[in-house]
Each structure stands twice: as structure tokens, then as C-alpha cells.
Amino acid sequence: MLLSQTCIYGLRASALLASKSRADYTTIRELSDELDISFHFLTKVLQKLTKSELLESYKGPNGGVKLARTASDIKFMDVVLSIDGDSLLHECALGLPGCGILEPCPMHDQWSGLKQNIVTMMKDITLKDLANNYNSTHLTFDSFNKGNQV
């Protein structure tokens, strides 16, 4: 799996927040219910995004979380970096720590090309894009969670 489960949860919650495009705060409980993710676990995931200043949180009644910037200004990659870190950018396909331009492993050239494409995509796509696609499918995220399609 390319991204950790934690990261995927963060991406889904971020995309859902973006699709709501609300100015006020959304509770994590609402997000966890819609996404069918454990409330407590999602709380911890979103804390990372808050610390990275991708989200803003507010305690107490009418509190919750919201995007810290406009959805078009937060990239897929921002969420990945915040949660999974930058290991994806540097990792050798064969897991060799010394692999690089000077001492390429047998996979280096092929893999770094592909990796660059992945990174480009992640830097290209914003939460707004995710939210747009999300809305255009006329599907709730919840429907995915039921696994009703192969």
C-alpha cells in the first residue's frame, strides 16, 4: 500500500470537509459518522493535520475542525507529508538506503521516473479537486464503505 491507513483517513476527512465548503466548524463526530471511521482514531489523525496548520480546530459548543485555507490551496501532497512524512519521495524501490544518482540500484532509473509522476500528481491535486469529483459522483463516501462494488 502506497499510503498508510492513517494517511488515507486524513485524506478522506479532508476531502469531505472540502466538499462541505462550510465557513463554520464541523465536528469530528460528524465526519467520523459519515466516513465510518472510529471517532477517537480520526481525532488523533486530524490532530496531526491541525498541528501542520492544514486544519483549524476549535473546542467547545459549535466547535470542530475546518480547513485552514481554501480547498484549492491545500494539496493532496500537503496531507500526505503531514501524516506519512516524506519517505515516499526518497524511498528506493528495493529499499536500499544508499540508492541515488551516484550509486543507483538496478531499479533506480525506472522507479524514480514513476515516483516523480506520483509526486507530481499529489502536488497537482487539491482538496477542491477531490471535493469536485466527490460531488460529481453523487455518491456519499459512506456508500464506498459498504464495499458494494468489485
Partner DNA sequence: GTATATTAAGACAAAATAGTCTTATATATT
Partner DNA sequence: AATATATAAGACTATTTTGTCTTAATATAC
Q: Rule CB under 7 A: is residue 9 a binding residue for DNA?
A: yes
Q: Which residues contact 84 (CB under 8 A, 6 or more apart)?
A: 3, 4, 6, 7
Q: Which is nearer to DNA, 21 or 27 (CB)?
A: 27
Q: Rule CB under 8 A: is residue 96 a binding residue for a copy of itself?
A: yes
One character per residue 27-46, x = contact with DNA (rule: CB under 7 A): xxx--------x-xx-xx-x
| CA gap 92, 46 in Å, rounded | 29
Of 78, 85, 81, 69, residue with least CA distance to 18:
69
Q: Rule CB under 8 A: is residue 27 a binding residue for a copy of itself?
A: no
Q: Rule CB under 8 A: is residue 91 a binding residue for a copy of itself?
A: yes
Per-residue cell: 73: 490551496
| CA gap 41, 48 in Å, rounded | 11
Of 1, 64, 74, residue with least CA distance to 33:
64
Stretch that binds a copy of itself, among 22-30, 42-50, 58-66, 133-141 (CB under 8 A): 133-141
Q: Which is nearer to a copy of itself, 14 or 26 (CB)?
A: 14
Classified as helix, coil or strand, 58 is: strand
Interface with a copy of itself by CB under 8 A: which residues? 1-3, 5, 8, 11-12, 15, 87-88, 91, 93-100, 102-108, 110-111, 114, 117-118, 121, 125, 129-134, 137, 139, 141, 143-150
